[in-house]
Structure 1
């Protein structure tokens, strides 16, 4: 049997479950998740190798409408990153949320007009649809929007029909040697993962209080075998944002540190000594040079 290998872009508006879907496919956390829209800010690659088939999934930031409050350099970078993922790929998984169709879903669909590769529509969170009888007519409405290679209702959270989606993807991968070793599951470094896990815990801890202009920079990542020493900076733009993150008597930042450290130990398989600091870096989210220095892909 010939080997197959290809790149699969997972696209959709913010908060439809793209990162949850990729983590489910890979069987472990590679992309961070939260209920907050636009948690994913970078392209993250997840590699799934099964015998002769290798699917390289690319989790992307949610494609969103650029309003006045979002028209900052970081938002332009995220939209650009998601759009760039549609180049040089072999298949697209377009993820939507149940029976909801928004203007941002339409924007994603419009971006797929010129895509020449198969587009699979995945309807996520169907476990939360109360009246299952509404699904069939909804699928018929979706089928009229464009010619999809396949349509798969699923639940990324619970794993329902995710294997069926993987089968549809596998059918559409071209014959090719595998680009990555069988045991590799991502192109991202442990240092990147550590920064993302801190950002995830901040996002989950703060919820609606979260300063949008917040990012995490790893200053030190020193692996001593059984212990990994990590120093991380949480960057915000204003004093008020710093105060929110630290919390009363520093309790909030301590809890964030504890949660992040435990998650890192599970992910990295070693004891982690984590130090967190909060620092003000004014205007970083609207400064292309600062974004590039913080690891945001501007190319």
Structure 2
């Protein structure tokens, strides 16, 4: 996107920079929070769980700090090759950072005595406990480990704010978090407090990236993600999980972009669903994806989409690799040379 030259402000004494991992169970709002902090629809956010499949860096630059936000897949009990890859990506993303933001969704309780009683009896579930244990192990692995802050998301859904107190207490019994910040990315609640927590957790140092850069990923990668976002938006509960998107051609022409994309599904019946009667579904997907891409690039876009059957790709590690799902450590993704990382990656 932009070059990686430091900003003028980043050379000032007291400027801070570092890596911040957004971790948690699927569908707790990691991508939504990243988009809210950046002020851009950069990460694929959906009401469906396990939407994020790969680590992505969102670059949050202010006149006081630059936080490189590591958006990670949800940590869950994985069975397929794709899901195991996603969990491994999440845990890799939590290593070598300066701050871990562990996100957890606030439970929904009604106002009044009934809600107060339910909040008093509430306990984090086994999946959430497992996430805390895995992240706490990462923190304890290092002599000077990163701070770990609990971010309670979707707090606008809680009937009364006082109900947060027993909820926070139950979380603190599981782990001594350095801070707890309730937020609602949807209405902007708590984001200023979270910003302060992020800033104080970053060491002093120059910026990694230029002030205009929003992501470490290429526009080619983002185009594939935005097409996949449209699949999640239009194709119900199941089919998007069996689909992947690759870009076979991306040309930046003088006045517009030309993109050729492949949507991979596992079965012929799924291909028929994506295309739809008389091509209506694939046409709607293409139009919606094109608008998303144009909103991100600020340029007109010609998008041509083909649907291809790639049998069993979610279960075959070799096919996963062919479709681009490989560990970022193997791709040479690393901080700028000579800059602190807060610890070594695995």
TM-score by length of 2: 0.83
Question: Is the partner of 1:16 in helix, strand or coil?
Answer: coil
Total equivalences in the alignment = 295
| Cα offsets for 1:2-50 (capped at 9, x unmatched) | 2211100000100010000000000101111111111100101011111
Q: CA RMSD in A?
A: 1.3
Question: Is the partner of 1:212 in helix, strand or coil?
Answer: helix
Q: RCO greater where, 1 or 2, for CA within 8 Å and sep 6 or more?
A: 2
Question: Is the partner of 1:140 in helix, strand or coil?
Answer: helix
Match of 2:285 among 249, 256, 261: 256
8 Å CA contact retained: 2:231, 2:240: no
| Cα offsets for 1:226-260 (capped at 9, x unmatched) | 21111110000101111111111111111111111
Matches of 2:213 and 2:260, distance apart in 1 = 26
Matches of 1:78 and 1:158, distance apart in 2 = 29
Question: Does residue 176 of structure 1 match 2:176?
Answer: no
- Structure 2 residues without counterparts, runs of 5 or longer: 1-12, 109-123, 140-144, 331-346
Match of 2:274 among 245, 248, 258: 245
Matches of 1:56 and 1:167, distance apart in 2 = 15
Question: Is the partner of 2:58 in helix, strand or coil?
Answer: strand
Question: Is the partner of 1:14 in helix, strand or coil?
Answer: coil
1:179 Cα deviation (Å)?
1.3
Partner of 1:154: 183
Question: Does residue 198 of structure 1 match 2:227?
Answer: yes
Question: Is the partner of 1:32 in helix, strand or coil?
Answer: coil
1:209 Cα deviation (Å)?
4.3
Matches of 2:214 and 2:241, distance apart in 1 = 30
Match of 2:43 among 26, 31, 47: 31
- Structure 1 residues without counterparts, runs of 5 or longer: none
8 Å CA contact retained: 1:211, 1:241: no
Displacement over 3 Å in runs of 4+? none
Matches of 2:311 and 2:239, distance apart in 1 = 16
8 Å CA contact retained: 1:223, 1:229: yes
Alignment of 1:8-47 (within 5 A): 8-47=20-59
In terms of Rg, which structure is larger?
Answer: 2
Matches of 1:112 and 1:3, distance apart in 2 = 28
